[in-house]
Amino acid sequence: MIPADSFLEPARARGFDFFTGVPCSFLTPIINRVIGEPGLRYVGATSEGEAVAIAAGAWLAGRKTVVMCQNSGLGNMVNPLTSLNYPFRIPTLLIVTWRGQPGLVDEPQHELMGRICSDLLEEMLIPHALFPKSEGEVGPALDEAERLLAESSLPFAFIMEKGAVRNDGLDQPQAPPREAGRREDLRRRESPPSRAETLERFLGIVPEPAAVIATTGKCGRELFTLQDRAQHLYQVGSMGGASAMGLGVALNTRRPVVVLDGDGAALMKMGNMATIGAERPANLSHLLLDNGVHDSTGGQHTNAANVDFAALALACGYAYAGSADDLGGFEEAVLQALATDGPALVHMRIRPGSITGLGRPTVKPDAVARRFRAFLQDDERTRQAS
Ligand SMILES: Cc1ncc(C[n+]2csc(CCOP(=O)(O)OP(=O)(O)O)c2C)c(N)n1
């Protein structure tokens, strides 16, 4: 058993200072220490998959990241680990607890995952090792993890056994109460435009320095078809992860960050909105293009028809929520969102359907990620020079 600092200090010395995840009792000492340490950043996520996407965003903005979770949460991570980190070649250090470790008396819900978690990591091509048990093991274990992270540009996992780290208590201030955000209804209740028309209008008004993350499916494909720029990240896969990635980016850049989301994707990871509302990045604009259907997979209804996304955003702590259903209202709401200290949501009704003969991004995901990262770091260089 080691004190949390015996791991965290050497980790910080190697640049790991952005942490996110969902708690597990085995992790309590580390998470509580990270929360209480001013030099480290912890974002509490609503699900482990969300944490993976937040960390991916933070990595794109130049941070070295750690995602902490219970092995039951590994199930929630499989999608982003396989369809975000893998194709985009985004590394992160995972600390996964080993509930249900064979031989350990534990709850029945952990038994199967306890048996398979190492194999599951193996299947996902994630190299892993036991979390270091003594202070002397920490440095070499981190060096080896760093070597593998750099070599593969993919995640590496430490599996943490029960009692690996000593508990030191928690010092977490309560978040202060906030004023309610501002709601603006710009709907004209006319027949809504298509996604392509909306994206075209968006491209006409989005400021050059803004980073843009598009959700999976036809949204990213249309954006790419209309215009391909280094400041675009087209999420293929990791459905629902665009807003979490946007949060991870926004917390680590001064640039405006815009997420282009779908209603199906937003509903799939609705917890993301609560985390965005809790973290309150002022530079994040979340544009939700709501056609009421899973357009990319054939137009099946989502469950969005009765969801008031603007109310939801405000209830989660967003500072602004505008609703629109025509291009004029959309432009007005987006400009408001960009001008407001966010986070801001624009709920834009669009009609189903997309450009005929729609292509797919021809730039490979890992190349998209690297040019996007370089674009974000340009801002960092400008900031350091000034
Ligand atoms: C986890 C996961 N489930 C299902 C899919 C298949 N899929 C890709 S895009 C999509 C629809 C997304 O719907 P929405 O966010 O409303 O966007 P739209 O297609 O309408 O633009 C689905 C279901 C996926 N990529 N990932």
CA terminus-to-terminus distance, the chain: 45
Residue 295, ligand 1, Cβ within 6 A: yes
Predicted confidence at residue 380, as pLDDT, reads 60
Is residue 382 scored above 80 in pLDDT? no
Q: Whose CA is nearest to atom 17 of ligand 1?
A: 262
Give yes or no for residue 76 CB within 6 A of ligand 1: no
Quick one: pLDDT band at residue 208, thresholds 50, 70, 90? very high
Ligand 1 in reach of 279 Cβ (< 6 A): no
Structural domain boundaries of the chain? 2-166, 182-378
Structure confidence by residue, pLDDT tens digits, 214-238: 999 999 999 999 999 999 999 999 9
pLDDT tens readout for residues 93-113: 999 999 999 999 999 999 999
Ligand 1 pocket test target in 295, 350, 351, 355 with most atoms within 8 Å of CB: 295
Task: Tell me, in angstroms, the distance from the centre of ligand 1 to residue 299's CA.
Answer: 10
- The pLDDT value recorded for residue 168 is 67
pLDDT score for 312: 98
- The strand pair at 284-290 and 257-262 is best described as parallel
Any ligand 1 atom below 6 A from CB of 262: yes
Atom 16, ligand 1: residue with shortest CA distance:
264
Ligand 1 centroid to residue 265 C-alpha, Å? 6
**Angle 195-205/218-226 helices, nearest 10 degrees?**
50
Does ligand 1 come within 6 angstroms of the Cβ of 236?
A: no
Ligand 1 pocket check for 243: Cβ under 6 Å: no
Does 383 have pLDDT greater than 70? no
pLDDT in tens, 122-174: 999 999 999 999 999 999 999 999 999 999 999 999 999 998 887 766 777 77
At the top level of CATH, which class does the domain 182-378 belong to?
A: alpha beta
Three-state DSSP string of the chain:
CEEHHHHHHHHHHCCEEEEEECCCHHHHHHHHHHHHCCCCEEEECCCHHHHHHHHHHHHHCCCEEEEEECHHHHHHHHHHHHHHHHHHCCCCEEEEECCCCCCCCCCHHHHHHHHHHHHHHHHCCCCEEECCCCHHHHHHHHHHHHHHHHHHCCCEEEEECCCCEECCCCCCCCCCCCCCCEEEECCCCCCCCEHHHHHHHHHHHCCCCCEEEECCCHHHHHHHHHCCCCCEEECCCCCCCHHHHHHHHHCCCCCCEEEEEEHHHHHHCCHHHHHHHHHCCCCEEEEEEECCEEHHHCCEECCCCCCCHHHHHHHHCCCEEEEECCHHHHHHHHHHHHHCCCCEEEEEECECCCCCCCCCCCCCHHHHHHHHHHHHHHHHHHHHHC
Q: CB of 85 closer than 6 A to ligand 1?
A: no
CB–CB of 295/353 below 8 Å? yes
The response to whether residue 32 sits with its C-beta less than 6 Å from ligand 1 reads no
Q: Whose CA is nearest to atom 3 of ligand 1?
A: 239
Please indicate whether the domains covering 2-166 and 182-378 agree at the CATH topology level.
Answer: yes
Task: Let me know the angle formed at the C-alpha of 265 by 203 and 65, rounded to the nearest 5 degrees.
Answer: 85
For the Cβ of 294 lying below 6 angstroms from any atom of ligand 1, the answer is yes
* 385: confidence class by pLDDT, cuts 50, 70, 90: low
Task: State which of 86, 213, 270, 297 you would mutate to test the pocket of ligand 1, scoring each by most atoms of that ligand within 8 A of its C-beta.
Answer: 297
**Superfamily, domain 2-166:** Thiamin diphosphate (ThDP)-binding fold, Pyr/PP domains (3.40.50.970)
Nearest ligand 1 atom to the CA of 265 is 15
Q: Is 216 in the pocket of ligand 1 (CB under 6 A)?
A: yes
